[in-house]
A and B are shown apart, each in its own frame.
Chain A
Amino acid sequence: MTVETMPKAVPPVPSKTAPGVRVGGLSVVYKTSAGELPAIAGINLDLVPGTITGVVGESGSGKSTLALSLLNAVQPPGRIAAGSVEIDGLGDVVALRGEDLRKARGRHIGYVFQAAQNSLNPLKTVGKQLLDLGRSHGVSDLRALVREAKELLGRMGMDGARVLDSHQHELSGGMRQRVGIMLALVLNAHLVVLDEPTTALDMITQATILRIIREVHEERGLTTLVITHDLGVVAEVADRLAVMYGGRIVEQGPTREVLGGPRHPYTRGLLRAIPRLVGDIDEARALPGRPPTLGTVPREGCVFRERCPLRMDVCDTVEPLAIADGPRIVACHAVDAAAAKETKA
């Protein structure tokens, strides 16, 4: 399935390994009638080579803006106002322009769009779109590209030849999603960003896609970022989890640790707001209030304070710093205060 097993006609693919990604102090602003408003602010996030990181957040949390920033693909009226996105082998993506940037996308970074939003061209067969992709990235051996695509599709349980001959409307949602994954990987990118990979898919199809993401990730040695609103999706696939709220990462850490012992009041509230299949059904509690939008995110202090059960005076004026405790990072005054008390005692 990998390069070694491919026929000799294939040109040698530069041996690449999973790159690490370091997002530092990243801020993206959108120009609105009320001035430039930050969609994400001061984001620090490391993607460890060879791991799957899950970013979870509600609408307006800035998770998609963060994903687009990895490609330096934030569109006007938005712009990256500060910070850097260092990708191994590429350098700072924020500094890339024009042709360099275009080549980096696809070759180094694969992006899988939501299946529901029709990211495929309805007028062209999947095969034609694959060839377009190959030509625009200067692939000399298009036959090999097609072979690779068929192999990838076969790996994901589909009839490669049939899929390449199909138009978008002939494929089901789950099949389209797999085509998206194929297109992201076929140029041998080793950093893959999946934006809401299972939204609008059925439960059983979702489980299949998540299994495929995990397997392909391991087989090809990728660094993967999954963006989703669904904690369950992150729980199934991600090694590390970052929780976004109001354009900030409020908590991050190893997935099992964060889910098993959430620290930030938002993470805790979110987990409690999801009805589960087992256990006491009355334990589920709605989170009061509603998530902020671009215009209603507080300018100073903690972004979550309006809905927070642990709100203190300091939360109104001072934005909490992200403080690391081993692999766990939390940005919350109340958590800090509790931790300080504990060390004193």
Chain B
Amino acid sequence: MITGTGITKTYKQRGNVLSGREVKALRGVDFSIEKGGAVSFIGESGCGKTTLGRIIAGLETHDGGEIVIDGVPMSSLKPRKREPYFRRIQLIHQDPYSALNPTRTVHQTLAAPLALRARRTGRPGSWMDERAEELLALVGLDPGYVLPRYPHQLSGGMRQRVVIARALTVDPEMLVADEATSMIDVSLRLGILSLLKDLRERLGVSVLFITHDVATARYIGEGGDLYVIYRGQVVERGQVETIIENPVHPYTQSLLSAIPVLHGLEKPGEQPVVPTAALDESKTDDGCLFARRCPFSTDRCASEVPSLAVTGAFPQEHSCFYPERRSVVATPLEAA
């Protein structure tokens, strides 16, 4: 339903021509999300995954490349004409505390977009209330309890469900969930994740899940694609299960190695990969962007730019000159 080719985005930091520094948030990213599909972006903060999510949701412009929604290239349309396309894609923020207007009840929050919709489609006013109740029930809330309340009277998990219900008022074809559970209590996270999974299965809504937590990406994006993003570039891409079981890019491997091991339940992977240096955005790199931190880099990595492709016997795309399987993920202990 939406594809992007060669998406680039550069932020200019304040300053004059001489002192202004450019930050390359995205360096030519290709992506494709099918109708009803699930795609996850993972990477560290600052890798560009949020920027890409916002571009996909139409909240941010890109500098280069083309986005095509349902076969229509967005560059061929005037900004105003793009609106109905991007309305099909709704963003769910990380922070349900700031995503809702604190001075509006849940009823008011949902009524505003529904009223607009009722007017456009010539539906009666009573439809609004019915639909609001329907949507709240769909996201697992009790409409009678929630509708008259203000955001501060709800828990974080309930608020995030209200945010999702609000996104659904426009009947979107795709939800972009940006770290949608990271601010929610641990025992409630899975509820939100399974809700998104459920919406995908029941309503056929595509879900783009943006996170730094690979395990939640696996949960929600079962069978879908995983994009590993590093410094504005996709470094590994393929089916989520394939990449978790057999990651071949050293960056993916170091991400997976960094996941805490539940000692007592699991034993750590045998070949953990630890980056040799910390991330330093100020350094410019000629070759592979990860070469400076990569424990396996060679002279070639420092000078030559690898491209994202399928090579060797590995099913996924990756951008490493020396792809290799390494056992980095923890495995469950045998039940005692």
Chain A residues packing against B (C-beta within 8 Å): 58-59, 157, 172, 174, 202-208, 210, 229-233, 235-236, 255-261, 269-271, 273-279, 281, 284-287, 290-291
Contact = CB atoms under 8 A, between A and B. Distances in A.
14 contacts: A58-B185, A58-B187, A202-B212, A207-B258, A207-B260, A231-B186, A232-B260, A233-B260, A260-B336, A273-B189, A275-B215, A275-B219, A276-B266, A287-B187
Given A58-B186, A204-B275, A273-B189, A290 B157 contact: yes
Given A207-B257, A281-B219, A275 B186 contact: no
A236 B329 CA distance: 14
Contacts of A286: 187-188, 190-191, 194
A231 B262 contact: yes
B264 A235 contact: yes
Interface in B256-290: 256-266, 274-275, 278-279
A275 B212 contact: no
Interface string B205-245: 00000001111101100100000000000000000000010
Interface in B137-179: 155-158
Interface in B315-336: 329-333, 336
Interface residues of B, number: 47
Contact of A270 (B186, B191, B265): B186
B101 interface: no
B44 interface: yes
A269 B262 contact: no
Contact of A256 (B157, B185, B244, B263): B263
B45 interface: yes
Contacts of A157: 278
Given A230-B186, A275-B218, A204 B260 contact: no
A236 B261 contact: yes
A314 B281 CA distance: 59
Interface of B: 44-45, 155-158, 185-191, 193-194, 212-216, 218-219, 222, 244, 254-266, 274-275, 278-279, 329-333, 336
Given A203-B44, A204-B44, A286-B188, A232 B262 contact: yes
Contact of B259 (A232, A281, A284): A232
Nearest to B43: A202
Given A255-B263, A258-B264, A290-B157, A277 B188 contact: no
Given A58-B185, A235-B261, A290-B188, A279 B332 contact: yes
A194 to B, nearest CB: 15
A270 B189 CA distance: 10
A278 B194 contact: no
A255 B263 CA distance: 8
Contacts of B44: 202-205
B180 to A, nearest CB: 14
Contacts of A205: 44, 278
Nearest to A273: B190
Nearest to A233: B260
Contacts of A231: 186, 262
A235 B187 contact: no
A218 to B, nearest CB: 17
A204 B329 contact: no
